[in-house]
Amino acid sequence: MSRDLLPGCTGVLALADGTILQGIGVGAVGKAVGEVCFNTAMTGYQEILTDPSYMAQIVAFTFPHIGNTGTTTEDLEQVSGSAETAARGAIFRDLPTEPANWRANADLPAWMARRGVVGLSGVDTRALTRAIREKGMPHAVIAHDPQGRFDLDALVAEAAAWSGLEGLDLAKDASCLQPFVFDQGLWSWPEGYEKPADKPKYEVVVVDYGVKRNILRALTSVGARATVVPAKTTAEEILARKPDGVLLSNGPGDPAATGEYAVPEIRKLIESGTPVFGICLGHQMLSLAVGAKTRKMDQGHHGANHPVKDLTTGKVEIVSMNHGFTVDRDSLPAPVVETHVSLFDGTNAGIALKDRPVFSVQHHPEASPGPTDSLYLFERFAEMMDRKR
């Protein structure tokens, strides 16, 4: 594409291969480097942009009308870390419009500006998505300058020099610094967010690799008191709390890198006989702990419309997914049962151990954003804790 800036251009996306996409800048002024992925969800953009699993990534939304419902303080997924430990950029087909929703308390561009998220609108997101499908997720720099001043060669060079996500342990930055108890349940109309039970039925320790708020809400809603602990908490410290179960959370980065300190502790948790439930990054590291391997994906899975089959029931679910690494299903060892599989590309989407109360899934059963088809997995975890008792 041409390196000449078009009249009125205030935002650009500079890819490592030299491609320049031009448009109208949105949100924060400045620049951010990251990996570009596309997300096919039609709603839930605020949950997506505050999901720590998107740390060091720039999200291109395939749905053209993003921002119509504005933003609200109630829909933030991030629990720990700063705004930098979530998505760093966003790409839209159309310029976000004024919000039209009774829950909105800010428009999307102003909210992005406050969070430091750099945005770009007016881009052919279908062409960008097609390029990602054919060539993989590129390294890029997204930039916004109201005056339209860009050093395009320098931006391309910065994108080309970025090391990428492989080998990066980002969970330690997305994690909490101190343990805390989360005390909010799922949202329902018209009451709002549920209050936790006065006497919780289960004590669950959540290892925070970048946990989403609605995972904690779903746990609380099945009767658990969710105690969140930092990513580097040892198995001995976790077991000293005498939990009924342990949840390994979602999070950003390369599971093999985070696994250098997390996998030995996960193995100890498995050996203790304590029920363990892994989600997304937690699923990948649990798989590493039992002897499987993970690998980087070309396009990843990002959206709220992914078909997954539960092999234990035969049921097909539509789920929310967000991951750029996957468990190599051919590397799963004998004690492991594959429980879920993606019907898009046949990649692994869940495992369970034959001889331990341990299971995990690649997708996001808390369904934020996305359908609630797999919310039952929290009930399955609760039943596992009941049986252990």
Domain residue spans of the chain: 11-161, 171-388
3-state secondary structure of 272: coil
Task: Report the pLDDT value the prediction gives residue 128, as an integer from 0 to 100.
Answer: 98
Mean pLDDT, to the nearest integer, of 336-360?
97
Task: Report the pLDDT value the prediction gives residue 361, as an integer from 0 to 100.
Answer: 98
- Tokens coding 316: 């097909």
Task: Report the pLDDT value the prediction gives residue 1, as an integer from 0 to 100.
Answer: 43
Task: Report the pLDDT value the prediction gives residue 187, as an integer from 0 to 100.
Answer: 77
Task: Report the pLDDT value the prediction gives residue 58, as an integer from 0 to 100.
Answer: 98
Q: Could you tell me the pLDDT band of residue 78, with boundaries at 50, 70 and 90? A: very high
Q: Tell me the pTM.
A: 0.96
Between 377 and 199, the more confident residue is 377
Q: Is residue 384 scored above 90 in pLDDT? A: yes
Task: Report the pLDDT value the prediction gives residue 200, as an integer from 0 to 100.
Answer: 94
Q: Could you tell me the pLDDT band of residue 377, with boundaries at 50, 70 and 90? A: very high
Q: Does domain 11-161 have CATH number 3.50.30.20?
A: yes
Among 35, 139, 280, 301, the active-site one is 280
Query: Which residue has 């970025």 as its token pair?
Result: 162
Beta strand ranges found along the chain (DSSP E): 11-15, 20-27, 30-39, 57-61, 89-91, 118-121, 139-144, 180-182, 187-188, 192-193, 202-208, 224-230, 245-248, 276-279, 294-310, 315-327, 336-342, 348-353, 358-361
Task: Report the pLDDT value the prediction gives residue 2, as an integer from 0 to 100.
Answer: 47
Nearest by Cα to 352 from 380, 314, 316 = 380
Catalytic residue status for 280: yes
Q: Give 124-158 pLDDT, tens digit per residue.
A: 999 999 999 999 999 999 999 999 999 999 999 99
Q: Give 245-266 pLDDT, tens digit per residue.
A: 999 999 999 999 999 999 999 9
Rounded to 5 degrees, φ, ψ at 82 are -100, 180
Q: Which CATH superfamily is domain 171-388 in?
A: Class I glutamine amidotransferase (GATase) domain (3.40.50.880)
Task: Report the pLDDT value the prediction gives residue 189, as an integer from 0 to 100.
Answer: 75
Mean pLDDT, to the nearest integer, of 58-64?
97
The pLDDT > 90 percentage for the chain reads 90
